[in-house]
Amino acid sequence: MDVQEQKPFVIGLDLGGTNSVFGIVDQRGQVLATNSIKTQAYKNVEDFVDAGIEALKPIIAKVGGLAQIKAMGIGAPNGNYYSGTIEFAPNLPWGHDGVVPLAKMFSDKLEGLPVALTNDANAAAIGEMQYGVARGMKNFIMITLGTGVGSGIVINGQVVYGCDGFAGELGHVTMVRGEEGRLCGCGRKGCLETYCSATGVARTAREFLQKSAEPSMLREINPDEITSLDVAIAAGKGDKMALEIFEFTGEMLGAACADFASFSSPEAFVFFGGLTKAGDLIMNPIKKSYEKHVMKIFNDKAKFLVSSLDDAAAAVLGASAIGWEL
Amino acid sequence: MDVQEQKPFVIGLDLGGTNSVFGIVDQRGQVLATNSIKTQAYKNVEDFVDAGIEALKPIIAKVGGLAQIKAMGIGAPNGNYYSGTIEFAPNLPWGHDGVVPLAKMFSDKLEGLPVALTNDANAAAIGEMQYGVARGMKNFIMITLGTGVGSGIVINGQVVYGCDGFAGELGHVTMVRGEEGRLCGCGRKGCLETYCSATGVARTAREFLQKSAEPSMLREINPDEITSLDVAIAAGKGDKMALEIFEFTGEMLGAACADFASFSSPEAFVFFGGLTKAGDLIMNPIKKSYEKHVMKIFNDKAKFLVSSLDDAAAAVLGASAIGWEL
């Protein structure tokens, strides 16, 4: 086999607010080697790219050198697929005040290797389609429940990028209109993300604890330090208030998905992220709310799935999956 | 020119709750001949199709016979593109309790002519893309403001049908959550349609008249008989309450479009229907609300357009446009 010609591997970069993880991935979705750098350690993007290239060298060498690599895919916050740029990303030290041509910068340092970039949730959707539970699906919506709520929308087998590359921001549909909506990081009020992200769930926990005197295991934790994991653990032990918090969260997510169905009528909603670790405790309230809120013609149609990809590898896999499309 | 081979015409059928209008259309979007029947006059679908075929005969003859016709497109409520059926259409005498294979029924009576069917708003979107203001656009959302609120979503140059053919029901996203939402014909509460359709605007007018004592021309009309046209006429004359009704309607539509932008980031929103006759009186409040509610990354991007197609012909043109795709 002429491996020079076949180029059996792609690079995936999961560029997160804390860590940037590089991985070399084969066509079956095996992550053969990884390395990482601290995203926040680099004040300007040139230094970040240089450090990234240094981190890549040993793992590229491990699979036989750059000649073995077909392309590189990057999943990054505020990533624009059309232009390969990161635009005004508030959580990156060098991302908040401009348009950074990151795909081109990596390509230039990797002998012109094709490099594509998209936001992390779109990357996750492509990863599920390429390697995960969405294999064979033409219409599905990926929803990532992390620090924020992200989404990747697949219609007719294609990720929806819209006219400008920024489509698929379902964490920012408005769920609570008017002044009573929670303030969102995007500057607006009542976004889905403020209720259903990990931080949103923690916020709900603090609100619930404050507004009632009901006993709960969650009272043993300093309210400012409660996480969605604490809620999941308490709910798993049958704590009534924790279960109510998940009911509230699932009600909101299910109602949002009902609106999304009116838009693209997906075959499935695929969930990914820490919150899904709670399993049925969160998935059942989502499904119940969805079936209650959705138009009758959509009842009992959409599947509600949890990502099958290994947590640690999923983001890198997702990013790498864009590479195969180049 | 071998016209037999070229087949220069398509049939469009705009199947409405009141009238069913047939038209013969050429490739430039000229409607060469039309005929119509009363939809409600036929209690079963076989009689409706037979009457339709009778109505078609003279206009088909006018353009040189069936051999000149490439295909037929039908725009109909609850039309399913995938199956060519009308499913559970509450406003059709023969549509409310089942799945009617209307495309096949017409095809069988027209010597096997290819017949496609979709809902009226999708047909309108294809019409705008083929003949109207959306020519050349790959990503736009058509919103029809009539008795109801319909939508046709175009992404990457394709109408979004979803996994089951029923995507694009944006009239039924929930704008007012909970019990205070207006009851919708779909059985749910708070749908966009209950506020922004022609009937929704009339309902707003009645509410506004009741809750304030403010003088208004609209008080000269029997509240039960107020139409959106009355509101438009009063607004055009500077009536303060009528203008407030349009502000309220535009606020709701703009906020809804802001959520739609988070989904598919369209290049344009294209509006069609009676309400658009009010021009800037309704379009300005929509745009103002959109820019206020939409995520910052989408500000000042999407165009807000009014259909350029002639009202009487638009629905037939839209329906016919599907025919060219066959």
Q: pLDDT digit string (tens) for A147-156? A: 899 999 999 9
Confidence grade of residue A93 (pLDDT, cut at 50, 70, 90): confident
pLDDT score at A256 = 98
CB-side neighbour CA atoms (13 Å) of A153: 29
The average pLDDT across A37-57 equals 96
Rg over CA atoms, chain B: 20
Local confidence band at B57 (pLDDT 50, 70, 90 cut-offs): very high
Provide the pLDDT for residue A203: 97
Query: DSSP string spanning B108-170?
Result: HHTTT--EEEE-HHHHHHHHHHHHSTTTT-SSEEEEEESSSEEEEEEETTEE--TTTS----G
Here the tokens at position B141 are 């959302």
Region A44-52: mean pLDDT is: 96
Structure tokens at A233: 């653990």
Four-residue CA torsion sign, A92, A93, A97, A98: negative
Q: Which of A166, A173, A267 is the closest to B265 by Cβ?
A: A166
Residue range B297-301: mean pLDDT, rounded? 95
Residue of B153, B297, B304 to mutate when probing chain A, most A C-beta within 10 A: B297
Q: What is the pLDDT of residue A1?
A: 45
CA A227 to chain centre: 18
What kind and span of H or E run contains A297? Answer: none
Q: How confident is the model at residue B238, as a pLDDT?
A: 97
On the CB side of B160, how many CA atoms lie within 13 Å of its CA?
36
Query: Which tokens sit at A211?
Result: 């507004």
Mean pLDDT of A96-112: 92
> Average pLDDT in the B191-217 region?
96
- Across A10-38, average pLDDT: 94
Q: Is the pLDDT of residue A102 over 50?
A: yes
**C-beta atoms surrounding A97 within 10 Å:** 9
CA–CA separation, B131 vs A315, rounded Å? 43
* DSSP strand pairing (B79-80 vs B69-75): unpaired
Sign of CA dihedral B26, B29, B33, B39: positive
Report the distance separating Cα A142 and Cα A140, nearest Å: 7
Residues of A in contact with B88 (CB under 8 A): 297
pLDDT tens figures, A173-230? 999 999 999 999 999 999 999 999 999 999 999 999 999 999 999 999 999 999 999 9
Q: Mean pLDDT throughout A150-172?
A: 96
How near does any CA of chain A get to the CA of B243, in Å?
21
| pLDDT at residue A87, as a whole number | 87
Q: Give the Cα separation of B54 and B42 in Å (integer).
A: 14
Q: What is the pLDDT of residues B111-160, one digit of tens each?
A: 999 999 999 899 999 999 988 999 999 999 999 998 899 999 999 999 99
- DSSP-derived secondary structure letter, A63: T
Q: What are phi and psi of B28, to 5 degrees?
A: -90, 0
* Per-residue pLDDT at B96 exceeds 80: no
The pLDDT of residue A18: 86
Instruction: Give the per-residue pLDDT at A5.
Output: 57
Helices B198-211 and B240-264 pack at an angle, to 10 degrees, of: 130
State chain A's mean pLDDT as an integer. 93
State how far the Cα of B323 lies from the Cα of B314, in Å rounded to an integer. 15
> For residue B155, which residues of chain A lie inside 8 Å, CB to CB?
155-156, 158, 160, 162
Tell me, what amino acid is at A324? W
- Comparing B20 with A91, the larger pLDDT belongs to B20
Count of other CB atoms within 10 angstroms of residue A124: 33
- Among the partner-chain residues B138, B169, B295, the one whose CB lies closest to the CB of A169 is B295
What is the separation of C-alpha A222 from the centre of its chain, rounded to a whole number of angstroms?
28
Which stretches of A157-279 are assigned E, i.e. beta strand?
158-159, 268-272
For residue range A277-321, list pLDDT tens digits in order.
999 999 999 999 999 999 999 999 999 999 988 777 888 999 999
Coil, strand or helix: which one is A36? strand
pLDDT of residue B5: 58
CA angle at B84 for the pair B78 and B86, rounded to the nearest 5°? 30
Question: What ipTM describes this predicted complex?
Answer: 0.91
Query: A80 and A25 in contact (C-beta within 8 Å)?
Result: no
Between chain A and chain B, the number of residue pairs with CB atoms below 8 A apart is 131
In the predicted model, what is the mean pLDDT of residues B280-306? Answer: 97
Chain A residue at shortest CA distance from B158: A156
Residue of A nearest to B169 (CA): A262
Quick one: closest CA in A to B165, which residue? A265
